[in-house]
A and B are shown apart, each in its own frame.
Chain A
Amino acid sequence: MMKRDDFLTVLARHRKDEVVVAVYSAAQELIQIAPHPLNYTFTGAMGQGSSHALGLALGRPDKRVIVLDGDGSLLMNLGSLVTIAHAAPGNLLHCLCRNGSYETNGAVPIPNRDKLSFTALAAAAGYRQVHAVSALDEWDRRLPEFIRAQGPVFVDIEMERGASYPEDFERLYDPACRDAFRQALKDST
């Protein structure tokens, strides 16, 4: 199964000037593996990543916005699938880093993980495109297509934890870093 740090390394290799919104473990690792002025980790509360991403996508329709959501996080804000599908931002790529657990909160399994289909939920909500990926080489091969596609695009990516990285929640939610992001986005054309 794909390791999350390998997934992020591939993302960093393909990334140009896209905004990347990330939550929890993916956010902790993103700022270590792929530091970038357009990394947005300031989501403030569990489940809110997709909604921050929607605000960014609507506010900057000229920029591509990629959100790295978690499955436990998305379960906490499932309505955002409908909200995003209705707002229909063409520049939003919603990636679900699906590990089947609340990893940050003790690696407890999410409810009904063996039967739950996030792709079915996203499709039923009305996303323009829905895909699923589980192998690293497929992620590497298809990511440019996902980034270019007219959104909202949902990609379910099955993965597991890779190497351990330090946790720094203060950094993730730091308003000073958010202000730096804000300036970087303003300067980014």
Chain B
Amino acid sequence: MPDEGLSAAQIIAALKQADIRFVVALPDRTTSEHLLKPMLNDPDFQVVQVCKEDEGLSICAGLYSAGHRSLMMMQYTGLLDSINALRGVAKEGRNPVCMLVGLLGKEPGVPPKQSARYGLRIVEPVLDAMDVPHHLVEQGADIGRIQPAIDKAYAESAPVVLLIGASPR
């Protein structure tokens, strides 16, 4: 039976189940329309818009010290631009920064490492080299990975990346 694709409503429900109330975001074409825009109007979320992605990792770290769970939303290019913050703030600082990262331009059904696009191909190897766990969320069945991944990040005080492989609808 064919997968029905990514439901934005189900992703939002999974994030709420994971007790995410603060969303830190820089718009990403993969997720802006059906995730970020609804979140901006959802009273269950406080959305903090940032000018650059590394800021967002640090805001999440501050929120963690203040006792809150949060999610950083960005495009994979922003993740690549935030490598030093990922190193210093999230990994060495042992902050449970949870990132939802859109893989703009990813070919449907093609694993990121086999993408024709260089930028997409290197995302998972870079995360592996940094020992940052990551999960591909591309089909409806993958949404079930979100809450356990976030819970594990907070239990272990370590970052996690959720790679969004298709535009949620």
Residues of chain A whose beta carbon lies under 8 Å from any beta carbon of chain B: 40, 42-45, 47-48, 51-60, 77, 79-80, 82-83, 86-87, 173, 175, 178, 181-182, 185-186
Contacts and interface: CB of A to CB of B under 8 A. Distances in A.
Interface size bracket, B side: 20 to 34
Contacts of A55: 58-66, 70
Given A86-B49, A173-B92, A59 B54 contact: no
30 contacts: A42-B65, A43-B58, A44-B58, A44-B90, A44-B95, A45-B85, A45-B88, A47-B54, A48-B54, A48-B55, A51-B59, A52-B59, A52-B61, A55-B65, A56-B62, A56-B65, A58-B22, A58-B66, A59-B65, A59-B66, A59-B68, A79-B52, A83-B50, A83-B55, A87-B48, A173-B88, A175-B93, A178-B65, A182-B64, A185-B67
Contacts of B59: 51-52, 54-55, 58, 83
A123 to B, nearest CB: 17
4 interchain residue pairs of minimum CB distance: A55-B62, A59-B66, A79-B51, A44-B88
B101 interface: no
A130 B30 CA distance: 38
A65 B80 CA distance: 30
Given A52-B59, A54-B48, A58-B66, 9 more contacts: A44-B90, A45-B89, A54-B59, A58-B22, A59-B67, A77-B52, A83-B51, A87-B48, A175-B93
Interface in B41-94: 46, 48-52, 54-68, 70, 84-85, 87-90, 92-94
